[in-house]
Chains A and B, each alone.
Chain A
Amino acid sequence: MVKYFFKRFFRGCISVVIAIALIMLMVFSWLDPTLIFAEDEQYTKLSNNQKTLYTYQKWEEYDYLDYVPYTDWLNAKTASGEITEEERAAVAAIGRTADADNAEVARYVAEFTAEYEAQGYTVVRLDAVMATPTRIATGGSQTLFAFQNTPLLVRMLNFFTGILDFDNIHYVQEDIGERGLTFTLHDPAYGGEKFAPAIMGNGTLHKYLLYVDGSFPYIHQNFVKIRLGTSYSVNKGVDAFDTMVMPQGNYVRSTTYYPTGVVEESADDLHSATYLAGSRELNMVYQGLYTDDYTNVDLVKDSGSRVAYSFIVSIIASALAYIVGLPLGILMAKRKDTWVDSLGNAYVVIIMAVPGLAYTLMLKAIGNKLGLPTTFSLDNPTTLMYIMPILSSAIGAIAGEMKWMRRYMVDQMNSDYVKFARSEGLSEREIFTKHIFKNAAIPIVHGIPGAITGALSGAIILEQVYLIPGVGGLLVQAIGAYDNAVIVGVALFYGVLFIISAILGDILMAVMDPRISYTSKAR
């Protein structure tokens, strides 16, 4: 059976890969790439050639294309010793137009053009934009560069191979001293007195590779990180996965023991320190706190991550749906064809027919009237703010559970074994609890993981209405800001969740019902 589920998971992964590939095809090939700058303030401030250069730089940063400015090419040539520093300085400045180049510059420009065009690059030369015949307009200086679009297949390959990012001691390219991992029983981040095992690295991206702390799941690792692509506008420069799992809200200050021995009340999370080349030298504050270049730290915040909020709301809502929906469904089946049944059916019909948005908004208005908080606030969180979103999510799910539970119960009630049990003289109570309910519960149990993921993906609407800082809201935000990496990342998140929930449902069903087997041998 393990083999069967492993195969199912593998096949599910393949279908998710195909689906993600399709989404990548759509957002990266069909969508105008300049749209990613829609929310970029810096982009709007720039003008003329500088704006063009900025777009190409960003596109390279976000893996759209490979971009080589003329000056970089010259620098590389100087570094490799092909030309001297004096020669480089002499030809670095190109003329305002191609005709204005002196002979030496023209020779290098021609060489640059020939070299990159041979590799399939497009060479672009932008002439200076003149404000007056002698003065260059703001951002209008002449420029020369070559670029080549990254083929979609390469992009996809980069994406899928880059999902799991393994940290290693050769990660840092600069000279960093002795590379290696050290194991300590007394984590210096806790002052070096307290017993707290940790594995620390030098030469790795993360300073801490394994450490313990007081938050779930208590033991944390940084050996393998999941990367789903860097966000452009929603959470600039941060990976989509981190955006989903990083805590939000207000900073929490606590006693922090910095490597230099300084003890301060600070929100810095030293366990998240990553390497940032040359950062200590450039920053006076860092020099007082850190002893190496592992200075890039996250800040400790008090609220849950986006994933946490989404899961909390959808799990509680699903639980509520089962707790309320199942007994009501059973009641409807027991009192079939009475007013109880009709009332229940009317409720199911209304919920099924009325658009989810409509009743969610109505509930929000009702909550508002009752004085309950109807928007999430991370600044002063209260448990009350969960009530309306959970209720809105549950109210639809309850109808679904009622409908199916009633259906299954009625089907079982009419089956022959129930009539036989009755003829044997079993009490109605016994028949219901021992026979009908047991059998009707099997398909219901099968649906539990699906219900939770369904609530998660349905939460897009909910998170929009109640402003919950969750994953669904992130998707809407990303779509609004054309943040392609986040769109793809969230899609992958949902896809993997869907496969896992389908498999979990089947496992639960097999656990509930020993007759079900997924391997042909056992039959």
Chain B
Amino acid sequence: MAVAQAETIDLRDTGLSDAELFERIPQDTAAVEKITAPRYSYWHSVFRVFFRKKTNILILAAFAFIIVFTYVYPAVMGYDRYGNIMDSTAKHLTPWAAIEKFGFSIRWIFGTGASGQSTFDAMWYGARISLSLALLCTLINFTIGIVVGAIWGFSKRVDVFMNEVRNVVSNVPGTLIISVWVLVFSPSFSTLLFAMCVTGWIGIAYSLRTQVIIIRDREYNLASKCLGSSTVRIAVKNILPFMISFIVTIMATQIPAYIASEAFLSYIGLGISDTTLGKILYNAQSAMVTPGWGWEFWCPVMLSAFISVVLFLIGQNLGDAADPRTHM
């Protein structure tokens, strides 16, 4: 070091002009953005925080179990509702009686229903449609809700218009809209899906709009705006990450709500004609109070509760983990 200092060269001695000595290099936009900080990856941190809680692994396992039984099990085993309809001794059996009659198989562990069908098969078959409906509904409502909510929060003109739309929709109970819709059109899967989505996204868009309004005028966004970021960039890069935790949390309450509303619609006789969890409840209502027939009613009830709780917990915990403030 000392040697180097002694050998300092005076640039004037070289006899070269400034142009020869210096070269103007272009500004490296990527390097400007780089801040020297510990390496931080958002999604990496999300999963790190998520898996830090050991119960989450248990919940995920339960979720995997549900997915396998709702989507793989009925496809592999098949489900024939009227397979045993001619056999009068096969109806309304308790698990023990069913196993005794048909021999042990996973099919019979919850007994049989009114037409001799396996309760276990029926409830997973029903869960497949109920869960698909809930997930599709979530996908559609949240896609529309997020896009509309972002625009709603940013544009004052859209705000005025959308507030009026929301006033109209929120003044009528959602159940009423859905039931009238299902009444008017044929009670099929797509009708029910459409009915649940036709106004369902407004609530999501509205709560998102409120969050966007809270965050959009924060100082860091003002600073970003001063530095020349476009509105789209602010929305996608600055605000959306803040929203993820919020979105996942409301998703956690919405998925069970969709499952519940399908069950409710089927229970009052407005559901789709196919077998769903709600439809099973509707068909097995009389079995609820009949001694010995309870299995065919309570198993689907328990399953819908179980699926809802698992999805709710995953959503809640993922929502917590998605909040950057928990990443410390």
Known A457-B175, A460-B175; judge A356-B260 contact (CB<8 A).
yes
Interfacial residues, chain B to chain A (CB-CB below 8 A): 164, 167-173, 175-177, 179-181, 183-185, 253, 256, 259-260, 263-264, 267-270, 278, 281, 288-289, 297, 301-302, 304-305, 308-309, 311-313, 316
Known A15-B167, A457-B175; judge A31-B183 contact (CB<8 A).
yes
Residues of B near A476 (CB, < 8 A) are 179, 268-269
B176 close to A357 (CB less than 8 A): no
Instruction: Give A30-69 as 1s and 0s: 1 = Cβ < 8 Å from B's Cβ atoms.
Output: 1100000000000000000000000000000000000000
Write the nearest CB–CB distance from B19 to chain A, whole angstroms: 60
B173 close to A457 (CB less than 8 A): yes
Write the nearest CB–CB distance from B178 to chain A, whole angstroms: 11
* In the complex, residue of chain A having the shortest beta-carbon distance to the beta carbon of B256: A353
Q: A357-B267, A361-B281, A491-B180 are in contact. List 13 more A-B contacts (CB 8 A).
A: A15-B171, A16-B168, A22-B168, A353-B309, A354-B309, A355-B256, A356-B264, A361-B301, A365-B288, A461-B264, A479-B270, A482-B183, A491-B176
Write the nearest CB–CB distance from B303 to chain A, whole angstroms: 9
**Could you jot down 7 A-B contacts, CB within 8 Å?**
A23-B176, A352-B312, A354-B256, A357-B263, A364-B288, A365-B289, A480-B268
Write the nearest CB–CB distance from A160 to chain B, whole angstroms: 15
Residues of B near A354 (CB, < 8 A) are 256, 304-305, 308-309
A355 close to B171 (CB less than 8 A): no
A26 at the interface (CB under 8 A from B): yes
Instruction: Give A346-387 as 1s and 0s: 1 = Cβ < 8 Å from B's Cβ atoms.
Output: 000110111111110110110010000000000000000000
B267 close to A12 (CB less than 8 A): no
Residues of B near A464 (CB, < 8 A) are 267-268
Write the nearest CB–CB distance from B184 to chain A, whole angstroms: 5
A355 to B270, CA, bound (A): 17
A355 close to B172 (CB less than 8 A): no
Partner of A352 from B256, B278, B281, B301 at Cβ < 8 Å:
B256
Instruction: Give A455-478 as 1s and 0s: 1 = Cβ < 8 Å from B's Cβ atoms.
Output: 001001100100000000001100
A200 at the interface (CB under 8 A from B): no
* In the complex, residue of chain B having the shortest beta-carbon distance to the beta carbon of A499: B171
A368 to B289, CA, bound (A): 8
A16 to B269, CA, bound (A): 27
Partner of A12 from B167, B308, B313 at Cβ < 8 Å:
B167
Partner of B264 from A355, A362, A494 at Cβ < 8 Å:
A355
Q: In the complex, which range does the number of interface residues on chain A fall in?
A: 35 or more
Partner of A494 from B172, B259, B269, B289 at Cβ < 8 Å:
B172
B173 close to A30 (CB less than 8 A): no
A196 to B269, CA, bound (A): 49
Partner of B305 from A18, A353, A498 at Cβ < 8 Å:
A353
Partner of A31 from B173, B184, B264 at Cβ < 8 Å:
B184
Known A355-B263, A356-B264, A361-B301; judge A498-B171 contact (CB<8 A).
yes
A495 at the interface (CB under 8 A from B): yes
Write the nearest CB–CB distance from A438 to chain B, whole angstroms: 25
A418 to B158, CA, bound (A): 39
A494 to B278, CA, bound (A): 25
Instruction: Determine which residue in B169, B173, B177, B259 has the highest number of CB atoms from chain A within 10 A of its CB, and name it.
Output: B173
A285 to B107, CA, bound (A): 68
* In the complex, residue of chain B having the shortest beta-carbon distance to the beta carbon of A354: B305
A362 to B302, CA, bound (A): 10
Residues of A near B253 (CB, < 8 A) are 352
Write the nearest CB–CB distance from A29 to chain B, whole angstroms: 9
Partner of A475 from B176, B184, B185 at Cβ < 8 Å:
B176
A19 to B167, CA, bound (A): 9
A496 to B256, CA, bound (A): 29
Residues of A near B184 (CB, < 8 A) are 26-27, 30-31
Write the nearest CB–CB distance from A229 to chain B, whole angstroms: 15
Residues of A near B313 (CB, < 8 A) are 349, 353
A359 to B297, CA, bound (A): 13
* In the complex, residue of chain A having the shortest beta-carbon distance to the beta carbon of B311: A353
* In the complex, residue of chain A having the shortest beta-carbon distance to the beta carbon of B300: A358
Write the nearest CB–CB distance from B216 to chain A, whole angstroms: 22
A436 to B184, CA, bound (A): 50
Residues of B near A357 (CB, < 8 A) are 260, 263-264, 267, 278, 281
Residues of A near B259 (CB, < 8 A) are 355
Instruction: Determine which residue in A19, A353, A480 has the highest number of CB atoms from chain B within 10 A of its CB, and name it.
Output: A353
* In the complex, residue of chain A having the shortest beta-carbon distance to the beta carbon of B164: A15
Residues of B near A399 (CB, < 8 A) are none
A11 at the interface (CB under 8 A from B): yes
A487 at the interface (CB under 8 A from B): yes
A19 close to B169 (CB less than 8 A): yes
Residues of B near A18 (CB, < 8 A) are 168
B164 close to A349 (CB less than 8 A): no
* In the complex, residue of chain A having the shortest beta-carbon distance to the beta carbon of B175: A460
Residues of A near B175 (CB, < 8 A) are 457, 460
Known A15-B168, A23-B172, A460-B175; judge A353-B312 contact (CB<8 A).
yes
Write the nearest CB–CB distance from B225 to chain A, whole angstroms: 28
* In the complex, residue of chain B having the shortest beta-carbon distance to the beta carbon of A492: B172
Known A31-B184, A355-B256, A479-B270; judge A498-B167 contact (CB<8 A).
no
A368 to B290, CA, bound (A): 12
A461 to B170, CA, bound (A): 19
A495 to B173, CA, bound (A): 8
A355 close to B260 (CB less than 8 A): yes
Residues of B near A15 (CB, < 8 A) are 164, 167-168, 171
A12 to B304, CA, bound (A): 37
Instruction: Determine which residue in B268, B270, B304 has the highest number of CB atoms from chain A within 10 A of its CB, and name it.
Output: B268
Residues of B near A368 (CB, < 8 A) are 289
8 A Cβ contacts from A99-133 to B = none
Residues of B near A460 (CB, < 8 A) are 175, 264, 268
A479 close to B171 (CB less than 8 A): no
The 3 closest A-B pairs by CB, nearest first: A355-B260, A353-B312, A15-B167
A18 to B172, CA, bound (A): 10
A11 to B168, CA, bound (A): 10
Known A15-B168, A353-B256, A495-B172; judge A358-B180 contact (CB<8 A).
no
